[in-house]
Amino acid sequence: MSDKQIKKVRPHPSQSEGLIFEKSSPGKKAYKLPPLDVPQVDAAKLLGSAQRQDLGNMPEVSEFEIIRHFTRLSTWNYAIDLGMYPLGSCTMKYNARVNEAVARIAGLANAHPYQPEKMSQGALRILKLLSDYLLEITGMEAITLQPAAGAHGEMTGILLIRAYLESKGNPRKKILIPDSAHGTNPATAAICGYTVENLKSNSAGMVDVSALAAQMNEDVAGIMLTNPNTLGIFEEEIHKIADILHEKGGLLYMDGANMNALVGKTRPGDFGVDVMHLNLHKTFSTPHGGGGPGSGPVACKKHLEPFLPVPVVITKPDGSLGFNYDRPKAIGRVRMFYGNFGMHVRALAYIMANGYDGLRLTTEDAVLNANYIRKKLEDVYEVPYKTPSMHEVILSHHRQARQGVKTGDIAKRLIDYGFHPYTTAFPLIVADHGAMMIEPTESESKEEMDLFIEAMRAIAEEAQNEPETILKAPHTTRVSRLDEVTAARRPILRWKPEKT
Amino acid sequence: MRYLPKSPQDREQMLREIGAASIDELFSHIPDEYRLNRDLKVTRQLAESEIVDYFQQRAAECAAGYANFLGAGAYNHYRPVVVDSLISRGEFFTAYTPYQAEIAQGTLQAIFEFQSMICELTGMEVANASMYDGSTAVPEAVMMAMRITGRSGAVVARSLHPEYREVLGTYSKYQGIPVATVPFLANGRVDLNALDQAISNQTACAVIQSPNFFGTIEDVVAVADLVHKKGALLVVSIAEAISLGIVKPPAEADIVAMEAQSFGVPLGFGGPYAGVIATREKFVRQIPGRLVGQTVDQQGHRGFVLTLATREQHIKREKATSNICTNQALVATMATIFMTIYGREGFKELAEHNLAKAHYAAQQFGKKAKVLFEGAPRFNEFVVQSSEDPHVINNRLLAKNIIGGFPLQKFYPELGNAAVWCCTEMITREQIDAAAQAVAQ
């Protein structure tokens, strides 16, 4: 039966939920405070001209309306809980429920960051154990859990390099960044006071080592390298890269965004990396939450340890744990308190649930899944770099583009098949902005992946026979393609009451 | 491993179809010498019950059940049950950044509501979709002010949260941004004469916090007047956002850099929280971080998208307004739900309770010790100077299951035996009386 045959007086209310402000009317309440047990005060007298008179258009609604409103909104989201989320470089894996449960245990959730150290031993032990585990996993020698996200970790790591080089007399001028890198890398280098120099990839999709050797000189502070890189390719000559840098006094920074391909199989600390960040919200399963919070610990080798931000967790002579603030060479603080502790709790719970064998099997399954998808799609989509894939596979729209169907269109059509799109048009080095970057993670069953493969193959066929269907996709969502041009040209960034 | 949805047969079949003899073949391009041929030295797999047990034990070592007089940038407010109930929906917490707008309208609309409410509360015209936290919002605001004014330095009140100042110090040091610090007066407010002298024609902005680190509400109108006369911008940092329920918003500021933790976000030993930058419409293209905007789909239905992305790192790379690539979407959603629960009337009532508790407490403490910074209004924090070291007082209070105020010697040695105390609605009169007695002993 089509929609036309079913008579409806209006769209279903769950699909046409308005803004919360539009549900507001004076006198509705969703709160109840207990009686005040101290004398009431005259705010006007206490605050004088600093007293606020009213709260403008803040909504007034009842509790159940709030439940309905946000529940309805939630149903308009795709989520990893609903299906495969093959966003390359984002590592959308299962977010275990026990992680959520333990992060909400009262003693941890209600711990104040300034409560005395002797009353915070449990939290400190969590920070210490997670630090120890992450050092073992990365093969590094010192760590800070303070950075709030991946890009924040990048900034912290590059500042460590800067402070280290400054201590040797010259912070240098440039950071080399491969053309396949995430946009955060060049933005980070700039925020740390460095200029960015592009590093070319070779035809295998890896850093061109001879070009690097030619580019490397005493002006170069370091290189920011993602490994496996954003093409999902392991930089096989990583140690040569490290050697070339180290010989001229530069340092190797590794963007750990793709660590899900390495855990338990190889360690950055063993292949020459000086400093790196981890994305706990990728590799270690803390939830993405619709765009944050993340957490971006930075691990480094011993020579960078004196520069780590304050404070660091130490074991005191009496065996208890504490924070050490007395670190004269430290770069300073990058965030107040100790970082996104709630994410640290979740990441530790993830490591515990996996154990050493589960972590390794996780990596193996992630790589197995990516290669399976590659094998099952390589006859219909072009594989622009033939080098073996690790945890993600990069296809291109090259063949489909002849029918006018591009990576972004195929992505939108995937939505109709019940999947979240892969990452589109990134990395930028794939010709014609045609990249389709697919990272299934270990969390997908063979059955789910077979459905995804079937969808991708069906879309490839549609590209041949009925490209229009793809170009107008998605067809099944609550809203169709949104007008982004007008949104940017005449920005409406907040609700305002209609003028009466 | 219980999270992995594959049987051994699945794995074998997949390897066969790929044409690989073993899983290690898929790792064979990692050079031999870097392959890890041993088990990681981490725990064995733990059962769920063991994991819960481990964290319960750690939680028991963290002062659960203590009354807490600590504020100083992290505030213990009641979190309505509805907040966690809603954000625990997998559709919210297991979603990615809403780049694919057609299937992310839930997150996008919630963030649009967040931006709208932040504007209502702060008196600003636009707000971003949130960012890391209140401390990092300060250097982001300073860099934004530099882009707007084309000037290069900042002047910062010493009564701005010391850790916010440290974070600004890290960002500014390596970018060569000169930062001058301005003292406070006997009433706790920023010294306007010193501020006047410190601002040069190269100062991009002045940064104050209100209520400041001592709980004192700044005279934002007077500060803005002075700062604007010198052609600089005014950045107002807000650490205790509940104050906005009863304290006049800093509408004279050019940029508000705030922390939204007070809006239903757990203390959580310091994070995750959510920072926000709000500003005037004319500065919107210099704002860092994500923005959600309203638009229409092809049928004309209202919908929401991430917008003005040309400011951001994934488009502009090294020329972006910031390297930031995340917002605190889930935390912002928590805050949105919290703000909706209290709403127009509840916010005011909640703030009044805080004001009343802190006022009562200051009176009690003032009977035997000295409450500093009289003569200017306060919200829910105040500074108590005692004859004894506040650490000694706090140790005594622990026996009564009370965590006392935050000692200030470390950051403000000139105040001697002083501590900043905070009374939210969670503190009872009984606890205040007990604490005041311990201070007076």
Q: Which CATH architecture has domain A358-486?
A: Alpha-Beta Complex (3.90)
Which candidate from A24, A110, A293 shows the least CB-CB separation from B330? Answer: A293
For the segment B76-125, what is each residue's pLDDT rounded down to a tens digit? Answer: 999 999 999 999 999 999 999 999 999 999 999 999 999 999 999 999 99
Q: Which residues of B touch A136 (CB under 8 A)?
A: 40-42
Which candidate from A55, A121, A420 shows the least CB-CB separation from B100? Answer: A420
ipTM over 0.95: yes
Query: DSSP code of B414?
Result: G
Which candidate from A77, A267, A337 shows the least CB-CB separation from B271? Answer: A337
In angstroms, rounded to a whole number, what is the distance separating the alpha carbons of residues A418 and A398? 24
Which candidate from A63, A265, A289 shows the least CB-CB separation from B30? Answer: A265
Res. A269: pLDDT tops 90: yes
Q: Where are the domains of chain A?
A: 3-74, 98-351, 358-486
Token output for B431: 């606890």
Any idea which residue has 């969390």 for tokens? A443
Residue A112 to residue B355, Cβ atoms within 8 A: no
CATH for B81-338?
A: 3.40.640.10
Res. A1: pLDDT tops 50: no
Considering only residues 397 to 426 of chain B, which have any Cβ-Cβ distance to chain A shorter than 8 Å?
Answer: 398, 403, 406, 425
Residue B432: closest C-alpha in chain A = A38
Res A5: pLDDT: 64
For the segment B13-48, what is each residue's pLDDT rounded down to a tens digit? Answer: 999 999 999 999 999 999 999 999 999 999 999 999
In angstroms, rounded to a whole number, what is the distance separating the alpha carbons of residues B58 and A344? 13
In angstroms, rounded to a whole number, what is the distance separating the alpha carbons of residues B318 and A188? 7
Whole-model pTM: value is 0.97
Q: Where are the domains of chain B?
A: 67-79+344-440, 81-338
- Report whether B188 contacts B212 (CB < 8 A): yes
In angstroms, rounded to a whole number, what is the distance separating the alpha carbons of residues A377 and A391? 15
For the segment A7-46, what is each residue's pLDDT rounded down to a tens digit? Answer: 666 678 888 899 999 999 999 999 999 999 999 999 999 9
CA distance A124 to chain B (A): 9
For the segment B388-398, what is each residue's pLDDT rounded down to a tens digit? Answer: 999 999 999 99
| Residue B157 parent element (H or E) | strand B153-157
Residue A159: closest C-alpha in chain B = B174
Which candidate from A332, A349, A443 shows the least CB-CB separation from B51? Answer: A349
Q: Which residues of A touch B163 (CB under 8 A)?
A: 333, 336-337
CA distance B432 to chain A (A): 10
Token output for B222: 């007077």
In angstroms, rounded to a whole number, what is the distance separating the alpha carbons of residues B268 and B328? 15
What fold, for B67-79+344-440? Aspartate Aminotransferase, domain 1 (3.90.1150)
Q: Which residues of B touch A498 (CB under 8 A)?
A: none
CATH for A98-351?
A: 3.40.640.10
Q: Which residues of B touch A63 (CB under 8 A)?
A: 82, 341
For the segment B175-234, what is each residue's pLDDT rounded down to a tens digit? Answer: 899 999 999 999 999 999 999 999 999 999 999 999 999 999 999 999 999 999 999 999
Q: Which residues of A touch B9 (CB under 8 A)?
A: none
Write the DSSP assignment of A257-286 as a string of letters: TTGGGTTTTB-GGGGT-SEEEE-TTTTT--
CB pairs under 8 A between A and B: 686
Residue A290 to residue B164, Cβ atoms within 8 A: no
Q: Which residues of B touch A443 (CB under 8 A)?
A: 3-5
